[in-house]
Structures are given as structure tokens and as C-alpha cells.
Structure 1
Amino acid sequence: MMENAAAAKASPYAIELDGCTFCYKGASRPSLRDVSLKIPRGQCVVVTGQSGCGKTTLTRLVNALIPLMYEGDLQGEVLVAGKPVSAWTMGELSAHVGSVFQNPRSQFVNLDVTSEIAFGCENFGIDREEMVERVAQAAATLGIEGLVGRGTEALSGGQKQSVILASAYAVHPDIFVLDEPTASLDVHAMRNLARTVALLKSQGKTVLISEHRLWWLDGIADRYVVISDGSVMGDWAAAEFLAMPFETRTDMGLRAVSLAEIDSAVAVSPLGNAVASNASRSPSYGKPTVCMSGVVAGYRGAPAVLNGLDFCLLPGSVVGIVGHNGAGKTTFARCMAGLLKEKAGVIEVDDVPLRAKKRAGRVYLVMQEPGYQLFSSTVDDELASACSSDGAEDSLGNKDRIAAIKAALALEGLADRHPLSLSGGERQRLSIAAGLLSSARAMILDEPTSGLDYRNMRRIDAQIARMRDAGIAVFVVSHDYEFLCSACDEITLVEDGRIAERFPLNKATLPKLKLNFGFAEIQ
């Protein structure tokens, strides 16, 4: 332990990758190819690139999840604080490198928030008095004091993400590895995260962030490393990267780096621009596809999350659902889709009151964490299963439908891959493809762009436009301002388990959307 601590102080580099190539066990091609990267101590480095390019694999090399949890063939060398990863014990490395995974739910080991934040401190034998102080400090830094003492079961995805980051922060590691840390965060939580990363930098910590949403890192990141097909495509100082023309970065499949760029992209979006062309859209208004009246819903042993909610979803409409983390958005979606039974109220689909079990299938939910709804052994089997749930018997026709949706969502080369071996963005697209092949009357997308790059965000946007044209009602839960602007006709604000406001999305109402997101405080 003392030897590793001495190496940490002696080496000028926190992280070094030298000629690293890695191929997962059973994979036909490597996920990383000859990657070399040196990160000095105290830098904040952002690794970005298209979905499936190898970003998460790179982070797993640094925190030793490869080869501890993910087997495969590794060539090259990985050093942390000047020592090969293989020379650290897992306990020592965990104290030195704090990790936040892409799916925070997979990191939870306790049933209450306080114990979860304290978990790492307990493992490293920190005395109780200091542990209590660290838990309080971590919660305050992440802005989640209100969650302390609460159970973890009813937390939203964004709240879970913040709790896991607080748990890593409380251990006081020298290096932080964050994999898609904003995937489920609202703007307020993202701003807290940005302040936290800036604080870590001021304390001399090293931060490695794998990320698609880039705007919140403006002024914080020191370097941007772009990965393409497993190789380093470019490594730029922040000023150089930010000075690139927007079109140059979008050609690489990258998202906007500032709010100004987002607004510029919305104004010229070629795929269903909500600001410029919303006035010309004409959803197929008629009888509601889904109507919820006086709905009360929640989780066992906890107060109700939905409190007398009233809502109608019309055919051919695309409604964006917004609200802060914990407002009830995902509970709203799960209840509509029949995955959570309402405690009171009525939910109708096509004018017919349906109990929760009967709604499943008629209303299709693409979950925030799609790995929990992918059950087949290959991508093609997953899509064939979706076709069979549609009741279609035409195998030839199904093959054509599957081929078309794979092409539309860039899934062609993944036919024989196991769904859980895919990247987060690839799983997201697969789950959406399965939904599109179902016979659902309404489609719910819960944070559909988490883990998605610019090109794949546009692919999802195009599929939503197809659903709208086919008269399918679309319900989008998202904190992604860039995506909502390009995809939605209407915005619904959820507060404290009720509908606080609904308004059409157009040029005149865009400032209202920004205000609800909290961007007015940023600009």
C-alpha cells in the first residue's frame, strides 16, 4: 500500500494507456485498438465519440473492471499513478479511483441513501465521526441533502446517479472516472455536477469523463479525446476543440458544446425542427389514445408519487415530459404503460378503461435502463420476438421489417451479438427498435437519448417523426433540451406528481422551455 501511495506522488501522470487493444471474450473484433493516452494529474479529460466507439471500455481499463468483471484479450499496458493496474490490489485501487457507472442502479448495495453514501467509507475503515462528516459534505456538495435518510427504491434515475457520485466523492479518491454521468440528470443536477467537477479540479483531482452531452463541460474540461471505431481520432486542448466549426464536430457525430450551439442547431435541424416548423405540423387530433383521470400511484411503504394526475395523449402527437429529478416523470410513464399499478383513478386506452396488465403491450415503454427489458440471446432474436408479440405470422415480412428498422437505427452489424454485450447507446436503439416493431398504440420513451451521440439522436428523431405520421401517440420523458426541441410538438411540465403546465413547442414558447429547464440561470 505504501509503495503504491509513493508511486502516486512520484508519477506526473494519473492515468497512462500505452498501445492498448482490447477484445471482449467472444467478440469478433476489438473494442479498443492501439489506444495510447497520458493524463497528467489534476486534468479533466472528456472522452467522447459515437455510441459503441469504445468509450466505456476505456474507462473499464482504468478502474480495472477489465479484466476483473469483463474478460477478454488485452494487449498493451495500463498504469494508474505510475503503477501497472495489475500491481494494485482491488481495495487499494478502489481507494485511489472512484467510479460512477453508466447505469447507477448496478452500483447500489444498500436500501437507504445514507448507508449508500457511507458504503465506501465503511469499507476503508474510516471512523464513524469522520464518516458522518464526509456523508454530510458529499450530500451538500452534490445538492442532495433532501435525499439523506430516504429509501433508495423510490429514487428517480437522476437521483440515483447523484447518490452514487456522492458515495464516490465521500471516499476522497485522487482519480474520478465518470461514465455518462449526466445520462439521467436534470439541468439543476448537471449544474451541481459541473460545480463538483470544478471543485475536484481545484483540489488537484484527476477527472476522466466519458460523455455525449458536452455543453455542461464548457469552461471545465481541459482536453477532449474523440474515439472512433476503437481508436483515438483526435486529442485536443479544450480551446482548440471548442474553436472548431460546429459542422466539423457534428460530422464526427458529436453533440453541441454550448447552449448557443444547441439553439443554432435547432434553427437549422433537417429532421422535424420543432422551433422552425412546429406551426406546420398537424397531429392527427381526435379521441385520446390514452387518458388518465385522477391517477394516484407510488411505491410500497412510501408516499404517493402521482397525486391525482390528469392527462390525455392524442394520436399523432409527440409530447415531451419535463420536470426536475424526482418529480414523478418515470413513475408517470411506468403507470401509463401498466408496469406500475395505480392506487386510484382510471386509465383508458382508446376509450376503454384498462387495468395495468391489460395496458402492457398497448402502451410500449422503452425504459430508462433498456438492459432490463432485453431478454433474447441475440439482437435478431430480440427483434423477432417483438414482431411475434405483434401477432404477425408472416416470417418473410417480419424479416423485411427487421432489416428496415436495423438499417434505420444503425444496428446492421450487431445481428448475432448478445443484447447485454452492446454499449449503452446500442442497447437504447435496440429497445426502441423493438418498440417500433410492436403493435403499440402509444410509445413511451424514457430518457431515449442517454448514451446517444449526435447522429443516433437524429436517427431516433426521424423514427419519432415516422410514428407521428402513422398516428402513434408518443410520450418522451427527457432532460435533453437539444433532443426535445427537435422532436416534440408539445411540452408537459410535471411537478410533485401532477401536471403543472402544458404548452405547444414553437419559437414563441422556447424561452418558457428554457426557463423550465433552468437555463435562464446559466445564460
Structure 2
Amino acid sequence: MITIKNLSFQYSTEEDFVLRNIDLSVHQGECILLCGKSGCGKSTLLKIINGIIPEFYQGKITGSVEVAGMNPFETEIYKISEKVGSVFQNPKTQFYTTNTTDEIAFALENYGVEREKIQKRLKEVQETMHVSALMDRNIFALSGGEKQKIAIAAVYALNPEIFVFDEPSSSLDMDSMIELSKLMERLKEEGKTIVIAEHRLWYLKKIVDRAVYLENGKITKEYSMEEMQNLSEEERYRTGLRHTDFSGNAWKEKSAILLSASEKHTDIEKRSFVSRLFKVEREDFAVIRDSSGNALELEIKDLLYKRKERTIFRIDRLGFERGKIVGIVGKNGMGKSTFAKVVCGLARQTTGEICKNNEGISVPKRRKNSLLLMQEINNQLFTDSVYDEIRLTSAFKEEEQLCTCMADMQIDQLKEKNPHSLSGGQKQRVVILSALLSKKKIIFLDEPTSGLDYASMKVVAKNINKFKAEKNLILIISHDMEFLEEVCDRVLFFPL
């Protein structure tokens, strides 16, 4: 299905080649994992397979590529997209409508599929991907994970021969990752070919046939999933490859259930959700209703947030201790990101109080004292160089101090580069460091590791821990359990 011979590619904006002498063959029905550290060329290789390069990105190309019998350098992209379906890391970049049902039907309409067949296909997609609850909704009112589900469903509806996935799990909760795993199994059974660039590996353990490892734009090795599972910690750090198993054992001491949003589910059902995720007994989790009695930086009392008539979340009483790193996890669409906006003063609660020392903190004061790092990192890059980006929000202004911090985050070599030209994982490290160096005392990070390999994740965890004494509170929304286990003092669960 895919034959690549001696391929090299250099972006017109870059001095060096991003891909070098790539040779790769992918057979029908295979699932191939592209892996390697952030910036190694995985996404660029996917863009060549699906024709985005050279259609939208200019540069120097040598070598040959054949995809489903077509040369993507000479074939119009609409013809390629009949055979190759793509799911990008940021789902917003591939939406064409504002309604979820319209979005899933959009490609089918473009190819002139009859209305009755479109309706039939929509029902099949709903049943297979379990997205019935997301149908006929405003796309921009969805959570990041829900948007990702719609993007995947829209590609699945077209039924291409080759599926290309770029970090598809970046915004998905654990249940949704398991659903994605089952979908990929089904695609393989149907004889579809899958090429996936991904850092989180545990949900792909039984699907991937072989892993192709890229380093500095070259294919340097191929792994079986068994070989990846048996890597030493030193090899894992050197290669950036994540674990293929997740045990969750360290969560028993950190975890608690945050009682909030849903009026439909009992406490027992909420605890059951946590137990299913981490395979532990219910009594291992304490239900948090009141603060622990230690010095508190933030107190929440009877907090309710409604969107129109729908309750997004409700929290009876909750306290956050000073100098702690707290993780917040839960299923997609449960209001975690909205909770962050309310705490940071970017959205106003319907009722309830956010306090410190029993005094309410006004919305303007919350805005002044807090910083929210959102999922959409491209919306938070403002300058023409990485150095200027870091300096923009930094409490430090001396170049020596800034360069030391950049070296600690391993982005000092990117100092002069335009932030928008970086890989997803490199952008993440830039905006995370910008947040940590700010004067803000409360920092909310929303999915900060979506594009990070194992080594980069470790670096980010180390830097966050280094700054937690200076920041009064760091709150992290994430589905990256491996990262949260590394960095958090405590983990709260939003309910089903």
C-alpha cells in the first residue's frame, strides 16, 4: 500500500533536512507505528503519505513515494483523500462545519454519495464509535477529547483504504483510548492499512505489527511491541519511547474522587468508574468533601456552573493546599477545562465562592494571580523567536537566567527558531516554561504533555517540580497517567 524509497525532505523555511534517506514499505492490513523523540520527523512523514506535502508545504523533495498506487507528488489531493484518511493531532484544523453531524457527513457529501447512503453510514459510525451523544451538537462547544472523537468519526465515515493518525490519543480519556484501540482492531480485520505517529503506547500494544523508530529524520531501527516493552529505563530515556503497560499502582496513595457535576450518578457509580480505570478496590479512594486542614491556597464552596440549563459541574467543598501539584482527571466532556476557566476568572460561576482565608476572591483578582495554559498551544504563541516567547511572560529578564531555564527544559538549541515552526512537543515545552517563569502564583495546565515523548515528559515533570515551591499551586488537567504519576502530589477525579 505504501512504498517509500530514498526519500529526503527539507522545508523551504528550514536550513536542514527534516527527513533523510527514508526507505519504508507498508503492506495492506498492517498497522505501523512511527515513533521517536519530538521533532524527529514523524508528522512530516505522515504529511508526505497523505499528500499535504507538497500540496500545502513547500520544500525540497528527493526520492520516490507511492501510496495506494498513486504518486502523491503528482496526484491531486482530492484523489489521494479518497484512499487516505487523516486524523491530525489538533482536530480543529480539519473541521469544515460547526455541527457535528454535518462534519461527519461532509466528506461523503463532497464525493457525491447519495443522501440515503449517507444517512445509513452515519448510523453505522454512531454505533461503531459510540458517538450518538455527540451528534447534532455545536462542535465548538465540545471538549478537546470530544472534538477528537468527531474528527476520527468523520474520517471513518469515508471508509478509506489507508488511515493516517497523528497523535490521535492526545486529548482522549482512557475509556476513549480503549474505544480507539477497538476501532483500530476492527479496521485491521477489514483489511485497512494504518500508519500512526504516537507517544502513548499502552493502548496500541495488541494492534501494532511493528514500530519504526526515527531519529534526526532517519529510520534507525524497527521494534516489535515486545521489544519496546522490555526496554530498560536508560534506553527508554535515550529513545523517548513510553511504556507499553500502565499499572497505576502509585495512584492508591494520591487519588481521591472529586464530587461534582453529575446529578445522574451515585457516589458508588463514580467510585466504580475510578476502580475500572485503575483496577483497584473502591476503599482505596477517599471522597473529598472538606479541606485537609493544612494551609490552603484556594477554597471552593458550593460552586455551580451551568451552561444554559445544563449543569456542567457542581462542587460542594474543596480545598487546595499551598505548594502542591494537583492532577485533575476524568472522562471527556465532564467540565474539567471549564472548571479551570472558572478558577482562573476566565468564566464566571453560576453560584458559589472561590476563596482564600474565608474571603472571596473576585474575578479580576483571579485573573491577575493565575495563568491558564490551554490545550490549543498555537493560540498562545505570540512572538517570532523562542527566546522572545519565553522572555514575554518571564519574571526573569536577564539573558543568562533565561538561557539556563531554557537549557533545563532542553529548548536552548531552539532559541532563535520561530515557535510556530516547531514540532508539537517542542511547542509544548516552550509554553510550559513560559507559564512556569511567569509571576503568577496559581498555574493551570490543560493537557500539557499531549505531544511529549518519554524523555521530554520526564524533563517537563522535573521542571514543574522545581517550580512548585515558588508557585502557590499548580493544577494539571491530563489523561496522561504516566505523567501524572510522575509529577502530582494528589489526583482528583471528575465523575462520569
> Once the 2 structures are TM-superposed, how far is the Cα of residue 245 of structure 1 from its aligned partner?
4.7
> Once the 2 structures are TM-superposed, how far is the Cα of residue 341 of structure 1 from its aligned partner?
2.9
CA separation in 2, counterparts of 1:22 and 1:386?
A: 35
Q: Counterpart in 2 of 1:297?
A: 305
Answer yes or no: is 1:32 the counterpart of 2:19. yes
Q: What code does the residue aligned with 1:288 have? A: L
Answer yes or no: is 1:381 the counterpart of 2:388. yes
Q: Counterpart in 2 of 1:129?
A: 116
CA separation in 1, counterparts of 2:424 and 2:357?
A: 34
Aligned length: 458
Structure 1 residues 251 and 329, CA gap change in structure 2 (3 angstroms): same
Q: Structure 2 residue aligned with 1:50, among 8, 15, 37? A: 37
CA separation in 1, counterparts of 2:251 and 2:345?
A: 36
Q: What code does the residue aligned with 1:67 have? A: P
Q: Counterpart in 2 of 1:188?
A: 175
Answer yes or no: is 1:151 the counterpart of 2:138. yes
Which residues of 2 match residues 50-129 of structure 1 at below 5 A? 50-129=37-116
Q: Structure 1 residue aligned with 2:212, among 222, 225, 232? A: 225
Answer yes or no: is 1:171 the counterpart of 2:179. no
Structure 1 residues 471 and 412, CA gap change in structure 2 (3 angstroms): closer
Q: Counterpart in 2 of 1:486?
A: 486
Q: Deviations over 1:430-475 (max 9, x none)?
A: 1101011101111111111111011111111112211223353111
Answer yes or no: is 1:315 the counterpart of 2:322. yes
Residues 285, 315 of structure 1: 8 Å contact kept: no
Q: Structure 2 residue aligned with 1:365, among 363, 372, 383? A: 372
Q: Secondary structure at the match of 1:345?
A: strand
Q: Counterpart in 2 of 1:254?
A: 241
Structure 1 residues 25 and 354, CA gap change in structure 2 (3 angstroms): farther
Q: What code does the residue aligned with 1:158 have? A: G
> Once the 2 structures are TM-superposed, how far is the Cα of residue 339 of structure 1 from its aligned partner?
2.4
Once the two structures are overlaid, the 10-residue window that deviates more, 178-187 or 375-384, is 375-384
Answer yes or no: is 1:406 the counterpart of 2:421. no
Q: Deviations over 1:352-405 (max 9, x none)?
A: 644434423411112112111111111111111112xx4x6xx43xx1231122
Residues 287, 350 of structure 1: 8 Å contact kept: no
CA separation in 1, counterparts of 2:10 and 2:100?
A: 36
Q: What code does the residue aligned with 2:324 have? A: S
Residues 29, 192 of structure 2: 8 Å contact kept: yes
CA separation in 1, counterparts of 2:151 and 2:331?
A: 18
Once the two structures are overlaid, the 10-residue window that deviates more, 250-259 or 48-57, is 250-259
CA separation in 2, counterparts of 1:338 and 1:32?
A: 44
CA separation in 2, counterparts of 1:241 and 1:82?
A: 32
Q: Counterpart in 1 of 2:451?
A: 451
Residues 159, 326 of structure 1: 8 Å contact kept: yes
- Cα RMSD (Å) of the superposition? 2.4
Q: Counterpart in 2 of 1:519?
A: none
Q: Structure 2 residue aligned with 1:342, among 329, 349, 361? A: 349
Q: Secondary structure at the match of 1:324?
A: coil
Q: Structure 2 residue aligned with 1:201, among 188, 196, 209? A: 188
Q: What code does the residue aligned with 1:290 have? A: L
TM superposition score normalised by structure 1: 0.83
Q: Counterpart in 2 of 1:326?
A: 333
Residues 401, 437 of structure 1: 8 Å contact kept: no
Q: 5+ unaligned residues in a row in structure 1: which ranges?
A: 1-13, 268-283, 497-523
Q: Counterpart in 2 of 1:461?
A: 461
Q: Deviations over 1:76-95 (max 9, x none)?
A: 22210132112322111111
Q: What code does the residue aligned with 1:291 have? A: E
Residues 354, 360 of structure 2: 8 Å contact kept: yes
Residues 266, 482 of structure 1: 8 Å contact kept: no
Percent of aligned positions that are identical: 35
> Once the 2 structures are TM-superposed, how far is the Cα of residue 37 of structure 1 from its aligned partner?
1.0
Structure 1 residues 414 and 302, CA gap change in structure 2 (3 angstroms): farther
Q: Structure 2 residue aligned with 1:162, among 149, 154, 158? A: 149
CA separation in 1, counterparts of 2:409 and 2:32?
A: 29
Residues 288, 312 of structure 1: 8 Å contact kept: yes
Q: Secondary structure at the match of 1:306?
A: strand
Q: Deviations over 1:60-102 (max 9, x none)?
A: 1111111222222222222101321123221111111110001
Residues 104, 160 of structure 1: 8 Å contact kept: yes
CA separation in 2, counterparts of 1:117 and 1:43?
A: 25
Q: Deviations over 1:99-120 (max 9, x none)?
A: 0001012212222211111111
Structure 1 residues 20 and 266, CA gap change in structure 2 (3 angstroms): farther
Once the two structures are overlaid, the 10-residue window that deviates more, 89-98 or 357-366, is 357-366
Q: What code does the residue aligned with 1:197 have? A: M
Residues 143, 189 of structure 1: 8 Å contact kept: no
Q: What code does the residue aligned with 1:228 have? A: E
Structure 1 residues 140 and 382, CA gap change in structure 2 (3 angstroms): same
CA separation in 1, counterparts of 2:332 and 2:251?
A: 26
Residues 349, 359 of structure 1: 8 Å contact kept: no
Structure 1 residues 309 and 156, CA gap change in structure 2 (3 angstroms): farther
Q: Counterpart in 1 of 2:434?
A: 434
CA separation in 2, counterparts of 1:259 and 1:213?
A: 10
Residues 316, 467 of structure 1: 8 Å contact kept: no
CA separation in 2, counterparts of 1:111 and 1:298?
A: 22
Structure 1 residues 421 and 53, CA gap change in structure 2 (3 angstroms): same
Q: Structure 2 residue aligned with 1:288, among 296, 299, 317? A: 296
Q: Deviations over 1:328-350 (max 9, x none)?
A: 11111122122223333333467
CA separation in 2, counterparts of 1:439 and 1:71?
A: 40
Q: 5+ unaligned residues in a row in structure 2: which ranges?
A: 254-291
CA separation in 2, counterparts of 1:257 and 1:71?
A: 36
> Once the 2 structures are TM-superposed, how far is the Cα of residue 482 of structure 1 from its aligned partner?
1.1
Residues 320, 491 of structure 1: 8 Å contact kept: yes
Q: Deviations over 1:11-63 (max 9, x none)?
A: xxx11222222222221222212211111111000001111111111111111
CA separation in 2, counterparts of 1:349 and 1:402?
A: 32
Residues 88, 166 of structure 2: 8 Å contact kept: yes
Q: What code does the residue aligned with 2:474 have? A: V
